[in-house]
Structure 1
Amino acid sequence: MYYNPFYYPAIPPIQVYSTYSLNAPFPRMYPPVDINIFEMSVKTFRQLMAQGSILLDRLGDAQFARKVMSAAQQGKHAEVDQLIKSIGLRVPVQSKFTPTGVNFTLATHPDQLQSVNCCTLTIAMKWGR
């Protein structure tokens, strides 16, 4: 048989694949699911949300909001922190502000069982153009 460059078969040749492949992935073994930490995080985050709601209620007071914004505009970070602490929240709050907005980050306290905070709630709000 000779080579014909214009010949193209109507049916492509059948490719035979081996039933044994060296590249076959092995099934992964996962540990059993333990939701204890996740359940604790959900419960703790609900507490953060409640504290965040208290913060928002207080910031909704026009007189208090004016004090916070005025101190922030003058760059008095310590005064802003003192005003936020005066609300009486049970979790630590970090505030960061710019001329256009403010971020309040509420975090959980690490307790004896865990060395790292499990949850963080950041409230980002716009207050300027």
Structure 2
Amino acid sequence: MYHQPRPYPPVDTAMLTQSVNEFETLLHQGLILLDKLENKPFSYNLMVFAQRGNKAEVRHLIHSINGLYVPIQINFTPSAIIFNMEPPAVDGQDYGNCCSLRIVLKWGK
């Protein structure tokens, strides 16, 4: 018995375009984060709190960065800090599933 392949739905680039737009926001937000992490006193405090296992202070420092507004999940180990950024909800639209930006920065051996 011969099976014909199922036809694909018509191509619609609207979701891809929206994902690209949201990802551009994440890139901009990532640059704001990276610029702040280049500040030695800020980074020093971040690493001290992380070494002490003080997740609340690490989160507080990151969320205190001016201009940074996207949701960020922060994880760290003795050798790296990991930031997962997702687009914020805008006008009731949740774009969190469209894309994400993961920044992994090594800070120890």
Return the TM-score normalized by structure 2.
0.89
1: CA distance, partners of 2:107 / 2:39:
14
* % identical aligned pairs: 43
What are the superposed Cα offsets for residues 54-95 of structure 1, whole Å, 9 maximum, x if unpaired? 100100111111010000000110000110011030212111
Please state which structure has a larger fraction of its residues in helix: 2
Aligned to 2:83: 104
Higher RCO (CA 8 Å, separation ≥ 6 residues): 2
Shift of 1:116: 4.6
- RMSD of aligned alpha carbons: 1.5
Could you tell me which amino acid in structure 1 is paired with residue 52 of structure 2?
Q
Provide structure 2 residue ranges, at least 5 long, that are not aligned to the other structure: none
Return the TM-score normalized by structure 1.
0.76
Stretches (4+) displaced over 4 A: none
How many residues are treated as equivalent by the alignment? 107
**Residues 1-129 of structure 1 aligned to structure 2 (within 5 Å):** 22=1, 24-88=2-66, 89-111=68-90, 112-114=92-94, 116-129=96-109
Could you tell me which amino acid in structure 1 is paired with residue 106 of structure 2?
K
Contact persistence 2:19–2:99 (CA under 8 A): yes
